[in-house]
A = this chain, B = another copy of it.
Amino acid sequence: MADLQEMGQKAAAVKFVLQKMNTEDKNRGLLAAAERLVERAEVILSANEEDMKAARNHGMNQGLQDRLKLTADRIGDMAEGLRQIAALPDCIGEVMEQFVRPNGLEISKIRVPMGVIGIIYEARPNVTADAFGLCFKTGNAVILKGGSDALESNKAIVNVIREALEECGIPGDVLQLIADTDRKVTIEFMKCKEYVDLLIPRGSGGLIRSVVENSTIPVIETGTGNCHVYVDKDADLDMAAQIIYNAKIQRIGVCNACESLVIHREIREAFLPMLKRALDSHQVELRGDEGVREILPNCIPATEEDYGREYLDYILSLKTVDTVEEAIAHINRYNTKHSECIVTENQETAEQFLNEVDAACVYWNASTRFTDGFEFGFGAEIGISTQKLHARGPMGLKELTSYKYMIRGKGQVRA
């Protein structure tokens, strides 16, 4: 456990260096790291091969092996990611508000780094470079705890980046990796409140739950997405079919994919057969309530549990409603507050849905797949928050910052 203390102290020490670092120096560090990743690709690939060998021996499944595997191209993508972060504007130092009080005090609210950010993630080595880049650009020191199966890859990536930074005169300790794979150390890390200002878990629901339950450090939950599309009675049905097809099929394993269709009773007959034809092309399994099964008799009956599930698979649950109010109530009951959509040509109905559905992102006539930092134009993304504190929805660079008040006086005292 002594190691974590030491890492915390080192991070706390460099955060003061980072706070003072100008944009040019930060960008120079990012570009040097990018260049070095490509130059030293062989070292990283051979470390990754060690991880891959162990993974094959342990019988890791193909999907996870694919996430773990690095190639020269993937290392090139990591480097490109860092270059893109370098090209983004620096928000640190921004004057967010400024006002003068009647007693003459001048109060400025200034954007500052969080300080030290901890990131706990699974065996995806590309996250290592990405998380570093986003934290570093926003002046934060970062302590990473990646999945144990990627340890050798992560060590190699972190060493290469630190080396590049040190050559630019930037202390390598702005980026530290917890190399101990003991779960107890990870739990202990979640309690390093003295040194770490923010903890972000990235990964499965189980990982996120463990962090929420154990952490004493403030957490941003980047959660699961049980996303709905509601097809209203006034919907353009062709548009509805295209949106659902896109939200369900375009990438099935992601948190902003559509998992459930809510449909107005009046348009069942016209819409459901049309939707089924579109989804049949990908053998999407439909699980519906009675109202749906009256139209699609072969549809599997949906259970209560189906409505609460994030399938991440070629499965869609379906629910019939009689009013938009019923649709909103159903969604507010089962959703994970991620992304929800209404398809309708009726503005009044749309505005009611936009206002009353409780979710980070509520769409009118567009696919839920747009919930993404890049699609929102943030130029980067550290995750999608499903909590309401601090940040909600796609989180870019600004969401990794805090603020401070600077108050300038002329000797004012309080009466």
Contact = CB atoms under 8 A, between A and B. Distances in A.
A278 to B, nearest CB: 12
Interface of A: 16, 19-20, 99, 101, 105, 107, 114-115, 193, 197-198, 212-213, 216, 218-220, 236, 239, 242-243, 245-247, 250, 332, 350, 354-356, 358-367, 369-370, 375-377, 387-390, 392-393, 402-414
Given A198-B389, A392-B402, 13 more contacts: A105-B366, A114-B388, A242-B411, A245-B413, A362-B407, A364-B406, A364-B408, A366-B409, A366-B411, A369-B413, A376-B405, A388-B402, A389-B402
A236 B366 CA distance: 62
User: How many monomers of this chain does the complex have?
Assistant: 2
Given A250-B414, A388-B198, A402-B392, A365 B409 contact: yes
Identify whether the interface residues of A are mostly helix, strand, loop, or mixed.
mixed
Contacts of A193: 212
15 contacts: A20-B355, A101-B375, A197-B388, A213-B216, A218-B218, A242-B411, A243-B411, A243-B413, A360-B405, A362-B406, A365-B409, A366-B409, A366-B412, A367-B412, A392-B403
Contact of A370 (B218, B362, B407): B407
Contacts of A412: 365-367, 370
B218 A404 contact: no
Contacts of A115: 358, 388
A389 B140 CA distance: 13
